[in-house]
DNA sequence: CTGTTAGCGCCTTCAG
DNA sequence: CTGAAGGCGCTAACAG
């Protein structure tokens, strides 16, 4: 593969002149520049971006780290990140944390391959994040709260969100409200549970034996947990699911058993993913401001890179989206 | 930031010894290695992956290039790519081609930042692909057919797919079948149109004035094109859409005008995206083997990197998925 | 305007 | 087992 050295030799100029010409520096005369560009084309020269990054010691790219590249994407969130990143002339790349400590995500966090990271992957350890974050490598956390210099967390008010949902169910006359969750070690899901429990307490309702936690936060598990509860005859009047994916799994289980939603049981989710409004019945759920969150995350990266001060923590409001999966028992 | 130089100085050894120790080379005695690792930890040393890549002249990472990171992802396809890539010990990163010639995608294609690329982004010019592909940089194309060394195309039999869908509609008694597409410059969509036209011809039906092409291949445009046709009173008996996204937009438009699908008009899509089975009525569409396609793409990258010969072109079969959006007029 | 030069941080023969 | 030395390809002072 041709390098600038080869071009220099062929064009009869020095290496630095080639570099200047290629980078459109005004120092080079038009004539030499053109000769250089011509021989570059002739050799099918391709810049080695890695060498260039090494020299500049800056990559002008930001990484978005997600649990699984093939997973259900928060498309609006990515859009927010993408637009801000591009407007700053930076590049954005996405990588996944499948593989744990040897994952691509860790490689990008710890090997200076990018200038900042936005993390939405609970399986990345806090230790790695703390070790990586520096003035020239800000880390924005979307899935947990961590207090440290050069890392800022942007959370959604999960507790208020599920509190709102529970309160709504109670107002609709539901007294026996189950909560279906996964085996959370994540702060996020603790908060959602807390909101649920608080609402029940405030209304003198019992949440004991109503909280079911097991497995992953995905559709399959929502489905199988619901089937299990149905089999055990534990049919509450309303089911709150930890997120929309699980709720959609639950909806499938109910349908299989000819249990009508919302006539027989009411269902709520959390997140307001795109599918939520398409499933039947359309899912009543809690919306989070996804685009704004993404855009804020990207903004903060640049603020920190530019040396400005930022809040260490943001919490964004949620909103109840009432659709058709909840009935009134009044 | 600490470098191996700093570690060497502090640990009282040479730079190369540090490098060996860090890379688990057996040449270093256990004692020295441990001392080195300890001082590395002490200094919070973080490897500079870029320098390492430059030296090794290999990145062990593959790029997946998509039109828009926030776009509707072929999640199954990504899963196929991801699994093969990880099993080979390579990293996978995704980047978008928004921004055209100055996009992240182009940067990764032309600057040797990765060892291979899988492209699913029609707005990347063929020229760039031809210039980039080399023995040590294979490019797999999922959105077009290009014949060249080190590039292989994996297509889906688009023509057979839409031929199948059209034929099915005809068998159900439809005679007036409209085709709604975007302004395609992409081979993919030409092929879909061709399948449609061929089926009509074979049955002596007229496709003239039945082909509507305009705008993008997204939901919004499917929606607005359908509204326009409704406004013009051009209600065919069946509407074939170029893809599921557009078909879903069409479904929304029909619903707004209280035109019943499939009672009043029949609708088909293409792709079988996840949403297709959730919309009401569930969409009859053409499925492509997404996971297999992704896995094959990744496999081919490694085959080429390992110097093995490959077919220059693959075409994968499609399959009709009959759901509820088509009625029988027989 | 062009050339010389000194690295960026790491890897890897080759000697010892 | 350890150290010295020479780059990978590119950039950016600094001189001319």
**pLDDT tens string A137-155:** 999 999 889 999 999 999 9
- Angle at B42 (CA atoms; ends B40, B45), nearest 5 degrees: 45
The reported pLDDT for the residue numbered B133 is: 95
Counting one residue from A and one from B, how many pairs have CB atoms under 8 Å apart? 132
Kind plus residue range of the DSSP H or E element containing A265: none
Q: Which nucleotide is nearest to A57 (CA to C1')?
A: C8
Q: Cα separation of A175 and A329, whole Å?
A: 10
Q: Cα separation of A182 and B80, whole Å?
A: 26
Chain B residues 121 to 180 with C-beta below 7 Å from nucleic strand C? none
Q: What are phi and psi of A93, to 5 degrees?
A: -135, 150
Closest CA to A272 of A322, A220, A217: A322
The reported pLDDT for the residue numbered B27 is: 85
Q: Is the pLDDT of residue A307 over 70?
A: yes
Q: Cα separation of A91 and A88, whole Å?
A: 9
Disruptive mutation site among A40, A69, A148, A149 for chain B (greatest number of B CBs within 10 Å): A69
Average pLDDT of chain A to the nearest whole number: 93
Residue B62: C-alpha distances to residues B13, B88, B108, B297 (Å): 36, 11, 10, 11
B95/A93 touch (CB, cutoff 8 Å), yes or no: yes
Q: What is the mean pLDDT of residues A275-300?
A: 95
Judged by a CB distance cut-off of 8 A, whether residue A110 touches chain B is yes
Q: What is the dihedral of CA A236, A240, A244, A248, to 10 degrees?
A: 0
Residue B38: C-alpha distances to residues A17, B31, B44, B233, B259 (Å): 44, 11, 10, 78, 72
Find residues 189-248 of chain A whose CB sits inside 8 Å of chain B: none
Judged by a CB distance cut-off of 8 A, whether residue B88 touches chain A is no
A50/B99 touch (CB, cutoff 8 Å), yes or no: no
- Strand D–CB B58 distance below 7 A: no
Disruptive mutation site among A93, A103, A121 for chain B (greatest number of B CBs within 10 Å): A93
Q: Using CA coordinates, name the residue in chain A closest to B76.
A: A70
Q: Cα separation of B118 and A273, whole Å?
A: 28
What's the fold here for domain A158-288?
A: Rossmann fold (3.40.50)
- Within chain B, which residue ranges are assigned CATH 1.10.260.40? 1-45
User: Are the C-beta atoms of A79 and A294 separated by less than 8 Å?
Assistant: yes
The reported pLDDT for the residue numbered B111 is: 95
Q: What is the mean pLDDT of residues A257-273?
A: 96
Judged by a CB distance cut-off of 8 A, whether residue A131 touches chain B is yes
A112/B78 touch (CB, cutoff 8 Å), yes or no: no
The whole-angstrom distance between B250's CA and the closest CA on chain A is 14
Q: Cα separation of B131 and B134, whole Å?
A: 8
Q: Using CA coordinates, name the residue in chain A closest to B55.
A: A51
pLDDT in tens, chain B (330 residues): 899 999 999 999 999 999 999 988 888 898 999 999 999 999 999 999 999 999 999 999 999 999 888 776 678 899 999 999 999 999 999 999 998 888 999 999 999 999 999 999 989 999 999 999 999 999 999 988 999 999 999 999 999 999 999 999 999 999 999 999 998 777 889 999 999 999 999 999 988 889 999 999 999 999 999 999 999 999 999 999 999 999 999 999 999 999 999 999 999 999 998 889 989 899 999 999 999 999 999 999 999 999 999 999 999 999 999 999 999 986
- Within chain A, which residue ranges are assigned CATH 3.40.50.2300? 158-288
A280/B280 touch (CB, cutoff 8 Å), yes or no: yes
A110/B79 touch (CB, cutoff 8 Å), yes or no: no
Query: Counting every residue, how long is chain A?
Result: 330
Q: Using CA coordinates, name the residue in chain B closest to A42.
A: B131
- Strand C–CB A196 distance below 7 A: no
Facing residue for A94 by CB, picked from B69, B79, B111: B69
- Strand D–CB A60 distance below 7 A: no
CATH of domain B1-45: 1.10.260.40
Strand A177-181 relative to strand A151-156, pairing: unpaired
The reported pLDDT for the residue numbered B194 is: 96
Indicate the pTM of the whole model: 0.88
Per-residue pLDDT tens digits for B269-296: 999 988 899 898 999 999 999 999 999 9
Q: What is the mean pLDDT of residues A211-220?
A: 92
């Amino acid at each position: 593969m041709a390098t600038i050295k080869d071009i220099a030799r062929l064009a009869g100029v020095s290496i630095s002149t080639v570099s200047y010409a290629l980078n459109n520096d005004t120092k080079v005369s038009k004539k030499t520049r053109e000769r250089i560009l011509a021989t570059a084309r002739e050799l099918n020269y391709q810049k080695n971006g890695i060498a260039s990054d090494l020299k500049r010691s800056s990559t002008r790219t930001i990484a978005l780290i997600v649990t699984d590249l093939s997973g259900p994407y928060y498309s609006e969130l990515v859009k927010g990140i993408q637009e801000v990143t591009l407007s700053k002339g930076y590049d954005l790349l996405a990588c996944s944390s499948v593989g744990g400590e040897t994952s691509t995500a860790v490689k990008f966090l710890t090997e200076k391959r990018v200038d900042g990271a936005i993390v939405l992957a609970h399986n990345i350890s806090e230790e790695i994040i703390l070790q990586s974050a520096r003035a020239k490598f800000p880390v924005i956390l979307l899935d947990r709260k961590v207090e440290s210099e050069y890392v800022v967390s942007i959370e959604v008010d999960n507790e208020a969100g599920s509190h709102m949902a529970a309160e709504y169910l109670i107002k609709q006359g539901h007294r026996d409200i189950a909560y279906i969750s996964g085996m959370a070690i994540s702060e996020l899901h603790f908060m959602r549970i807390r909101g649920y429990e608080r609402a029940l307490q405030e209304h003198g309702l019992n949440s004991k034996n109503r909280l079911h936690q097991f497995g992953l936060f995905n559709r399959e598990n929502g489905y199988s947990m619901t089937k299990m509860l149905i089999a055990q005859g534990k049919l509450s009047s309303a089911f709150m699911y930890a997120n929309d994916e699980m709720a959609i799994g639950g909806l499938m289980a109910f349908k299989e058993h000819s249990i009508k939603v919302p006539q027989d049981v009411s269902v709520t989710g959390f997140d307001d993913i795109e599918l939520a409004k398409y499933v039947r019945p359309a899912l009543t759920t809690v919306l989070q401001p996804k685009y704004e969150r993404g855009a804020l995350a990207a903004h903060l990266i640049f603020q920190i890179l530019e040396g400005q001060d930022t809040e260490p923590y943001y919490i964004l409001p949620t909103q109840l989206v009432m659709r058709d999966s909840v009935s009134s028992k009044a």
